[in-house]
């Protein structure tokens, strides 16, 4: 499966992607082998898989923290930030479950809003909050950027693992991000504006927005 086909399949239907990946034995490790969930333990994870889990844990926390902060500024104009923040709390908890399952160290040592171990995410949080508090519309576009970035990173992580539990969890996170993006775009369009893709290709974003099968997260 080439990169473009993989991305398109994922954006059309994450659960289809997960099923197809399982049927094919999953993406391969460097030794060419696949692994079953029954035999997996922490020693089976590659360094890339561990790094991705830890990054995803804090990236989902970043989404939650930014939306909680944006709700403080713009909660009187929309409930979209508060509603999606609740979903992101569930997402970061899902990754926390995987960290425990595979005995991986949790990078979230301080769950305070706006505090991160990963300095790249710390800088991104600061940048996005500074931008999002400028105006209501800026806040909404920040939400769109976060969800597009999440999808790009989740897709990359799925392509780096053959652990079924991880693939299924990431696929669920991907579905959530698609739903969140659609929610932000809906509010943006209600302001009489047009949403312009910020991370993903325009074709990919169009697929997401036109997908009527997407279940609300």
Q: What is the pLDDT of residue 212?
A: 74
- With 60 as the cut, is the pLDDT of residue 5 above it? no
CB burial of residue 40 (10 Å; 0-12, 13-18, 19+): middle
Which position has the higher pLDDT, 210 or 82? 82
Q: Give pLDDT, residue 117.
A: 97
Question: For residue 198, what is the enclosing H or E element?
Answer: none
What pTM was computed for the model? 0.84
Q: How confident is the model at residue 187 (pLDDT cuts 50, 70, 90)?
A: very high
Mean pLDDT calculated for residue range 193-211? 94
pLDDT greater than 70 at residue 196: yes
Local confidence band at 41 (pLDDT 50, 70, 90 cut-offs)? low
What is the model's pLDDT at position 95? Answer: 97
The 10s digit of each residue's pLDDT in 51-101 is 999 999 999 999 999 999 999 999 999 999 999 999 999 999 999 999 999
**Residues 8, 32: Cα–Cα separation, whole Å:** 24
Give the residue carrying structure tokens 């997908």: 211
Q: Name the residue among 48, 51, 154 with its Cα closest to residue 107.
A: 51
The predicted-structure confidence for 125-181, as pLDDT tens digits, reads as follows 999 999 999 999 999 999 999 999 999 999 999 999 999 999 999 999 999 999 999
CB atoms within 10 A of CB 90: 14
Residue 39 above 90 pLDDT?
Answer: no
Res 217: pLDDT = 56
**Tokens representing residue 129 in the block:** 């909050």
Chain mean pLDDT for the chain: 86
Mean pLDDT of 21-50: 58
27 falls in which pLDDT band (50, 70, 90)?
very low
């Amino acid at each position: 499966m080439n990169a473009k086909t993989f991305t398109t399949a994922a954006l059309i239907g994450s659960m289809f992607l997960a099923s197809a990946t399982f049927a094919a034995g999953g993406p391969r490790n460097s030794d060419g082998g696949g692994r079953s969930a029954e035999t997996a333990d922490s020693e089976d994870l590659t360094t890339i898989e561990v790094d991705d889990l830890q990054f995803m844990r804090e990236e989902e926390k970043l989404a939650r923290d930014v939306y909680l902060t944006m709700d403080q500024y713009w909660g009187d104009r929309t409930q979209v930030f508060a509603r999606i923040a609740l979903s992101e709390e569930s997402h970061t908890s899902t990754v926390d479950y995987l960290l425990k399952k595979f005995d991986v160290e949790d990078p979230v040592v301080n769950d305070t809003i706006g505090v991160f171990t990963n300095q790249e995410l710390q800088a991104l949080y600061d940048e996005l909050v500074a931008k999002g508090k400028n105006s209501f519309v800026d806040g909404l576009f920040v939400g769109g950027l976060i969800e597009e970035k999440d999808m790009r990173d989740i897709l990359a992580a799925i392509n780096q693992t053959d652990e079924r539990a991880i693939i299924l969890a990431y696929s669920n996170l991907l579905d959530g991000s698609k739903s969140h993006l659609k929610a932000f775009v809906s509010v943006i369009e209600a302001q009489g504006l047009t949403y312009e893709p910020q991370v993903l290709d325009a074709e990919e974003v169009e697929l997401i927005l036109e997908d009527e099968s997407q279940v609300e997260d």
